[in-house]
């Protein structure tokens, strides 16, 4: 797994007002979690944005460089402002090289399914992430799934994944990752049915008018 570094400082002041003040100064507030404890932190918006842009969709180990120590972590989550797209907050999980951890890893498909290329089917996704458990240095950045041999009606399930030694998959093995389905074609109505409908329509209208006259 790739490993990058970020400069981090402990955050002494808390609250929404302080967080807004930090963001105005291009500083992003965050939390570093480990074993039920948490440490409020802050770091450069520019540096964190570059890190996220470079590693988006990947699981990456990061060295958090505090002024007086270094901690290893992975990013658990980050939030953006839905209106402006501005980065608001980041969560890290501290890790130990000797302790296994549970993480979600993104799935990437490769190849073009034969059922799509040859038979005009559609590739549909079930799940796009899989939860695994392993030592930090065995965490894959992503999981590749080759769909080249999938025909119409065929699927790839979690149980079909072949991951490295020491990696346990925690997601339900029967979950569908991808499947190829046929496109349903609309069947046009028979000409006779259209003709009957066209003939019947004036009769219904005539009856309707007659009924109105009788009511009057």
Report the pLDDT value the prediction gives residue 190, as an integer from 0 to 100: 62
User: CATH topology of 3-95 equal to that of 102-181?
Assistant: no
CATH 3.30.70.1230 fits 3-95, yes or no: no
Report the pLDDT value the prediction gives residue 19, as an integer from 0 to 100: 86
Report the predicted TM-score, pTM, of the whole model to 2 decimal places: 0.72
Q: How confident is the model at residue 13 (pLDDT cuts 50, 70, 90)?
A: confident
Q: How confident is the model at residue 64 (pLDDT cuts 50, 70, 90)?
A: very high
Domain ranges of the chain: 3-95, 102-181
Report the pLDDT value the prediction gives residue 44, as an integer from 0 to 100: 95
User: Buried (b) or exposed (e) across 143-174, using 16+ Cβ within 10 A?
Assistant: bebebeebebebebbbeebeeeeebebebeee
The pLDDT tens digits for 82-112 are 998 889 999 999 999 899 999 999 999 999 9
Domain topology for 102-181: RNA Polymerase Alpha Subunit; Chain A, domain 2 (2.170.120)
Mean pLDDT (whole number) for 3-10: 91
* Tokens representing residue 187 in the block: 């069947």
């Amino acid at each position: 797994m790739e490993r990058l570094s970020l400069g981090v400082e402990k955050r002494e002041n808390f609250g929404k007002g302080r967080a807004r003040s930090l963001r105005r100064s291009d500083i992003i507030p965050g939390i570093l979690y480990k074993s039920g404890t948490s440490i409020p932190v802050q770091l450069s918006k520019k540096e964190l944005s570059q890190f996220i842009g470079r590693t988006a969709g990947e699981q990456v180990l990061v060295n958090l460089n505090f002024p007086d120590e270094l901690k290893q972590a992975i990013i658990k989550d980050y939030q953006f402002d839905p209106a402006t797209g501005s980065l608001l907050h980041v969560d890290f999980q501290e890790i130990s090289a000797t302790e296994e951890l549970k993480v979600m890893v993104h799935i990437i498909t490769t190849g073009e399914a034969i059922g799509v290329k040859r038979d005009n089917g559609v590739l549909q996704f079930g799940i796009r992430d899989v939860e695994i458990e392993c030592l930090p240095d065995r965490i894959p950045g992503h999981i590749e799934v080759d769909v080249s041999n999938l025909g119409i009606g065929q699927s790839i399930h979690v149980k079909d994944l072949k991951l490295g030694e020491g990696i346990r998959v925690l997601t339900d093995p029967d979950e569908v990752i991808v499947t190829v389905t046929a496109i349903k074609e609309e069947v046009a109505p028979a000409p006779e049915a259209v003709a009957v409908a066209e003939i019947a329509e004036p009769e219904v209208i005539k009856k309707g008018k007659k009924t109105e006259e009788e009511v009057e």
